[in-house]
A and B are shown apart, each in its own frame.
Chain A
Amino acid sequence: MFAELGHFSLILALLMSMLLAIYPLWGAQKNHQQMMATAKPLAIGMFLFTAFSYVALTYAFYTDDFSIAYVAHHSNSLLPWYYKITAVWGGHEGSFLLWVLIFAIWTVAVALLSDGIPKAMVARVLSILGMVAIGFYLFMLWASNPFESLLPFYPVDGRDLNPLLQDFGMIIHPPMLYMGYVGFSVAFAFAIAALISGQLDSTWARWSRPWTIAAWGFLTVGIALGSWWAYYELGWGGWWFWDPVENASFMPWLIGTALMHSLAVTEKRKIFKSWTVLLAISAFSLSLLGTFLVRSGILVSVHSFASDPTRGLFILALLGIVIGGSLILYAVRAPQLKSVGRYEWFSREVMLIGNNLLLTAATMVVLLGTLLPLVHKELGLGSISIGAPFFNEMFVYLIVPFVLLLAIGPLSRWKRQSPKALQKHLIVAFAISVSAAFLIQASYDQMTYMATLGLVLSGWIFVSTIQEIMQRTDASHNKERSLLKRLTSLTPSHWGMVFGHIGFAVMLIGITLVSNYEEEKDLRMRPGDVVELGGYAFQFTGVRDLVGPNYSGHVGIVDVYTDTSLSEKVTHLEAEKRFYPVQRTSMTEAGIDSGISRDLFVALGEQLNNGAWALRLYIKPFVNWIWAGAFLMAFGGVLSMCDKRYRMAKVAKVKQRFAKLATPDVEASNVATAQKVSQGQA
């Protein structure tokens, strides 16, 4: 019954999105205030109906309602309650429902938080979001309905959730990723609204900046969580696999990073306008493309949900309308975008656009690498696969100029920078980063070119970021002020940039060290055996049985000591191997001891004869820095969003209100306080 209400609620949400797509836009074109005013309630309505629908599906999962096809296929009565709730997005239909729910959340957030932006602009933006939403609601109701009933014949028990997805990482990774993916729709809507209205000044860039940063922050965290999940859940010991689905989330991130920076240039210097608009369209288009690649089953990957071509065709048609439509609009309107600012070849503008181009090139590399196998096959050239070596090599080429510009960019001035003035900074930065790289490497047995390169690059970012802070704080007029005062005088968005760049450097250190100094051993061990790896002694104590709510399996126990005398214990690791009977799948849960400078990682393999087991041991230096870097970058995003500039309109409004109140009311309240005080004294 509840499920039917959920279905009905989804239809109402579709209705809301249709009205939202029509009325506010119409109102904005005709300058009709009442029609524009419908935008907010309609956006709220769309959100509430979608949310109710989502709750209804969750309830069906919670109560094991196997009369619903989707529940029967993705849940099981033995599943713990928290996985029942997260199983809602474990399959195709439900993850789409989550997608539209998050879309509705972003829409309602724009509707509620855009007080400072002209009504007509907000109305247009919300209408565009409504148009995109129509497509997805129609898709759900027509081709992928999560509420489809199996009545009158339904199974006694469900098929269970894919064990890979029964994990804490799975609980938060997809919603975060979707928040990022879908969040780019806001920047997209602002760009399209600007194109439609012909209001092609750079104000739209300021309005869409905080939204873009928010979406980018979520996507950063989402990708980092996904990578972390793969690291400890898949038991392969890797943290990035260039899997098509990972790539699908990486492409919007790359373009989103470019967009964030390009928006800053467009806002401040009123240049690169058409480029920024194109990036805004591209970021969301790549999100949609990612959705298509995952949902259509067109690319074979660990992530893909098998599905039929009709669904893929529907999404492709949707893609055609949304992306094709906006690119046509772009082709027509972009020639009118005139950039007014002037700049010379050596200036901050050029460095930013340079990095924009490098990020776009990186996106192209990922796009090509992901789709080339498909194109190759369609051209009749047979199946090929493009693996990690291709991507790794291309990214090494791209990262060197990228880091160079990343480091010099913030040090440079807008319009014109004399290269001579930077010379001193550059020499100091280069000297420090090279010596740091050699010092760090001295603690490892051998030195590699790749590790040196990576460490020099990360050191370079660190040093130049510090130089940049010093440059800023020295420039502030009052030199006598304390350092702390001077540091706090920098704006939050400036600190956002600092954290973003430092985060990137931290991540680069992690990637460099783990890729070059990782140690690995595949072993056959019997209980009691001791093996040495990377300065640690691993003792395999044995295996005990494991019984979980919906799985059974074995736990391999390994104790780690500082040396083979086994006197000083470092840690106790338990690596699990689980078997899920309903889905008949085996899963590993690695035993990991995390640390700042290294992770000790143990995975349990097959049982061999004579009581021996296959074990895989890893030492992963600085692997946590990869995720720490990602979180620092996201934190930088949060800081940037907190900047006062984006609340300017609000602040102005409040000031206005106070100004109005000021004369009579303040006096009145003064009198009131005075009276109170005197009463108190009496």
Chain B
Amino acid sequence: MRKVTIFMIPLTMFVVLSIFLYKGLYSDPRQLDSSLINQPLPPFSLPDLMQPEVTHTPDVFKGDVTLMNVWGVWCVTCAVELPYLTQLREEQGVRIVGLYYDQDTDPDFGIKSIPTIQKEVEVKLGQLGNPYAFNIFDVKRDYSLDLGVTGAPETFLIDKQGVVRMHHIGDINPRVWNNKIAPLYNQLVAE
């Protein structure tokens, strides 16, 4: 009988280990994204893309329900959503602000001048439609990091007090708009 007990040791160890693994499974430390929801936007002070002398701060979001759309001319999927965003602006009067992000102006990679970028953006928006009230230029891409952006396009729904209410990863199309964003958007507008 004593012998059997010895051979039970591995089993016992495994059972104890499993209990901890099971508990660990439900306490994931990485709750992605949720930290920003229902929080005011992190502070920023960034230039306007088209008029660099104008500086924007979170105050630009006060008073209106806004979609802040993170995009860049290099992003294939962004190009696909531009016409629909333009349609939203024209037909439903949705206020859309761009957070422009250019890989080539980062200090680590930078050689592209601001006029070049402005020209590229103008051409792109001229072809596909311009949904933006204005574009905030995330010069060093720091602000995108603060927002926890993982790729482009991504969109933040911001209420009249400048509080983030929703973070959507990926493009906005009629399906996403109608099912996911519009209900909350309409509710926020009505508030």
Residues of A within 8 A of B (CB): 77, 153, 155-157, 159-160, 274, 278, 281-282, 285, 292, 296-298, 300, 306, 309, 312-313, 316, 319-320, 323-324, 327-328, 330-331, 334-335, 371, 374-375, 377-378, 383, 545, 552-554, 577, 579, 581-584, 586, 606-607
Contact = CB atoms under 8 A, between A and B. Distances in A.
B76 interface: yes
Contact of B108 (A282, A298, A377, A607): A607
B44 interface: no
Given A309-B28, A377-B24, A553 B109 contact: yes
B11 to A, nearest CB: 4
A236 B21 CA distance: 31
Contact of A581 (B8, B15, B80, B103): B103
Contact of B32 (A298, A306, A606): A306
Nearest to A328: B11
Given A282-B10, A316-B18, A607-B108, A300 B25 contact: no
Interface stretch (B49-57, B84-92, B113-121, B170-178): B170-178
A78 to B, nearest CB: 8
Contacts of B80: 156
Given A77-B76, A327-B14, A335-B3, A586 B108 contact: yes
B26 A309 contact: yes
B76 A300 contact: no
Nearest to B70: A584
Given A297-B28, A330-B7, A579-B103, A156 B76 contact: yes
Contacts of A300: 29-30
Contacts of B173: 153
Given A157-B76, A285-B14, A606 B108 contact: yes
Contacts of A335: 3-4, 7
Interface size class of B (residues with CB under 8 A): 35 or more
B15 A324 contact: yes
Interface in B25-84: 25-30, 32, 72, 74-77, 80
25 contacts: A157-B76, A159-B151, A274-B7, A297-B30, A306-B30, A309-B25, A312-B25, A316-B18, A324-B11, A324-B18, A327-B11, A330-B7, A330-B10, A371-B20, A374-B20, A377-B24, A552-B104, A554-B108, A579-B103, A582-B75, A582-B152, A584-B144, A584-B150, A584-B151, A606-B107
Contacts of A297: 28, 30
Contacts, number: 111
A319 B108 contact: no
Contacts of B103: 552, 579, 581
Given A324-B11, A327-B10, A371-B20, A581 B26 contact: no
B175 to A, nearest CB: 6
Contact of B109 (A296, A309, A552, A584): A552
Contacts of B175: 153
B17 A371 contact: yes
Contact of A157 (B21, B72, B77): B77
B142 to A, nearest CB: 12
Contacts of A331: 4, 7-8, 10-11
B190 interface: no
Given A331-B4, A579-B108, A584-B144, 6 more contacts: A156-B76, A298-B25, A319-B21, A545-B111, A552-B109, A577-B108
